[in-house]
Structure 1
Amino acid sequence: MGYKVAVVGATGNVGREILQTLADRNFPVSEVVALASERSAGHEVSFGEDQVLKVRDLATFDFAGTDFVLSSPGAKISAQFAPKAAAAGACVIDNTSHFRMDPDVPLVVPEVNPHHLSGWRKKGIIANPNCSTIQMVVALKPLHDLAKIRRVVVSTYQSVSGGGKEAMDELFTQTRAIYVNDPVEKKKFTKQIAFNVIPHIDSFMDDGMTKEEWKMVVETKKILDPSIKVSATAVRVPVFIGHSESVNIEFENPITADEARKALRAAPGISVVDHRVDEGYVTPVEIAGEDNVFISRIREDSTVENGLNLWIVADNLRKGAALNAVQIAEVMIRDGHIGPAD
């Protein structure tokens, strides 16, 4: 007995990770369908250690009888197919940016705001937040409950996997080219990414922010608290997997580093690794494939009243995308928002 699950965008980085996460967590499936564009139809993708799925054409697929659709095909494609799947009766959990700020679509991180899932039937769609937002709000939630956050200043150090397989290939190709003295070619990124950092993710807006930075601002407000002020700078770094964030937080009420550390250790989905010695902190290379959000460098900020600094690291393909989507589906079942499996 189980649920019929369709994974849209199954050949992409996140789609493959969703399939792996479903298998890793023994999600109760009766059938898993891998969907992608017509050009990918017929290709094979792995589901768990011993199953191989033939990719089917999204454009011709009938969603009738599908319980969950875990979708990560790109915003324009989701805009077209997510409502069709929802109209057919499926619960759509969408990983793209298209539906996130729709007031009738819950934007959910299970450790932070699972109660927002109660409104999912308005459109039959639940939005997965941006990867950099997810790991930040998981860390902010227990601290906000403890001392009420007033303002957040965050600088991100985002891996190239957030830009897809082509971005990962470009980092590899440029790095190799530098070592063998070949020309360095730019295709996916605006500047050389190998041995460099680029303070530019997504398109620029009229006020000078990029869309990636804007997403962190508005999504944090929708998920956690509309009164929180957020200032973000998003930077792409030459790391394959794992986003890092340097976060400065100003609170309304006093809070010490020890109090914050205790609250974070008690919170779900968080691992605190905070030792003031060499190697007493977490870096991206250590957390690839891990589910939790890792927090280090917890310290008080003496330049502002009631201030703290944190270093936050998470696997952007897992907790930042695939895992969060699967966890949403698990909460939907656990809390009775969707019926029992046939």
Structure 2
Amino acid sequence: MGYRIVVAGATGNVGREVLAILAEREFPADEIAVLASARSQGDEVDYGETGRKLKIQNIEHFDPAGWDMAIFAIGSEATKLHAPRFAAAGCTVIDNSSLYRMDPDVPLIVPEVNPEAIDGYRAKNIIANPNCSTAQMVVALKPIHDAARITRVVVATYQSVSGAGKAGMDELFEQSRNIFVGDSAEPKKFTKQIAFNVIPHIDSFLDDGSTKEEWKMVVETKKILDPKIKVIATCVRVPVFVGHSEAITIEMAEELSAEDAQKILREAPGVMLVDKREDGGYVTPVEAVGDYATYVSRVRDDPTVENGLALWCVSDNLRKGAALNAVQIAELLGRRHLKKAA
């Protein structure tokens, strides 16, 4: 006996990716409902590459009673309206928005890192999915933290435009085309031109000069991995369609050589180590697209601190950063608590 699962926001980038991953991983679903706003009602979406079509229902009119779990990819405002309604009806919400991430009664889960934290989901019947840049980073950090206790992390991100949704991807495409033919490349979605440029600004600015994206990486890493870790982030939008990259510098309480870190990372769940010290012996965003793994390359000692490492981390942000992690949470919830499927 399988699950009755809802995918809300099924017409968006992340929602479509959720459906593709559910199909790829043969998630034990007896029934799937796909939801979106009223304007998409009656449209059809693909259930991965199975050839099966699913008809969109209006989330406003959907009754969640009797459904086991719902993966939300609808943004904070819509989540604020519908997540409590679904949770109260007994349908566990796995939320991709930032709304509940720092709620002490809502577990923030990366299954390779803190699976046991899911046991607290019953407080609100809601589970939060972390920010895309945080998700891949903590997967890479977890095995190192277990081995040598990380005390400080300095990270610079190189985040693709898909993190800003379809509008961000469209803007990069249109600006690139316009520049080649001599037309205007005025920004609409982003604060400055994104084509052939980088923008050190993601989300709104805070009083201390950091951005909300940077703040998310700090507080989410502490909640998921260890509240004692010090984190500072600089988050940058780059002209890449899909795939986030991160240059991470780590300080540890105990000595851990780059060679030993490579051995640990090679065996770590969710991590794919590709670290040949030669031309092309590392992973770039283009190569990570469509994959489940969090790739780690360029592992090396940092001689500027007593116990330091530096590494390069790349992942498909629509997958591990959002859709895959949400599906993995659904699988974890089923294994640990619902246990309906054989």
Superposition TM-score, scaled by structure 1 size: 0.99
Report the equivalent of 1:306.
Answer: 307
Can you list the C-alpha shifts for 1:205-242, whole angstroms capped at 9, x where unaligned? Answer: 11111000000000000000000000000000000000
Gaps of at least 5 residues in structure 2 are none
Taking the TM superposition and a 5 Å limit, the aligned residue runs for 1:43-192 are 43-49=43-49, 50-192=51-193
Give per-residue Cα distances to partners, 1:245-270, cap 9 Å, x unaligned: 00000001111001100111111010
2:26 aligned with 1:26: yes
* Paired residues for 1:199-238 under 5 Å: 199-238=200-239
Which residue identity lines up with residue 140 of structure 1 in the other structure?
A: L
Separation of aligned partners in 2, 1:30 and 1:255: 47
Deviations 1:307-339 (A, max 9, x none): 00000000000010000000011111122x124
Structure-2 residue corresponding to 1:5:
5
Structure 1 outlier segments of 4+, above 2 Å: none
Query: Which runs of no fewer than 5 residues in structure 1 stay unpaired?
Result: none
Q: Which residue of 2 aligns with 1:262?
A: 263
For 2:23, give the aligned amino acid: A
In structure 1, C-alpha distance between the alignment counterparts of 2:325 and 2:314, rounded to whole Å: 15
User: Once the 2 structures are TM-superposed, how far is the Cα of residue 28 of structure 1 from its aligned partner?
Assistant: 0.4
Q: Secondary structure at the match of 2:338?
A: coil
Aligned-partner Cα distance in 2 for 1:165–1:48: 19
Query: For residues 34-83 of structure 1, what are the alpha-carbon distances to aligned partners after superposition, in whole Å with 9 as ceiling and x for unaligned?
Result: 10111111221111220111111011110011111000100111111011
**In 1, distance between residues paired with 2:59 and 2:341?**
24
TM-score after normalising by structure 2: 0.99
Matches of 2:235 and 2:264, distance apart in 1 = 27
Query: 2:158, 2:279 → 1: CA distance?
Result: 21
Count of residues in Structure 1 that have an aligned counterpart in Structure 2: 341
Partner residue in 1 for 2:197: 196
Question: Separation in 2 of the partners of 1:289 and 1:47?
Answer: 16
**Matched letter for residue 100 of structure 1:** R
- In the aligned structure 2, how far is the partner of 1:339 from the partner of 1:144? 31
Distance of 2:40 and 2:236 partners within structure 1: 32
Query: What is the percentage of aligned positions where both structures have the same residue?
Result: 64
Letter in 2 for 1:127: A
Report the more deviating stretch, 42-51 or 21-30: 42-51
Any idea what SS the aligned residue of 2:175 has? helix
Partners of 2:186 and 2:17 in 1: CA distance: 28
Q: For residues 162-187 of structure 1, give each alpha carbon's deviation from its aligned partner in whole angstroms, at most 9, with x where no partner exists.
A: 00001000000000000111111211
Shift of residue 341 of structure 1? 4.5
Q: Secondary structure at the match of 1:89?
A: coil
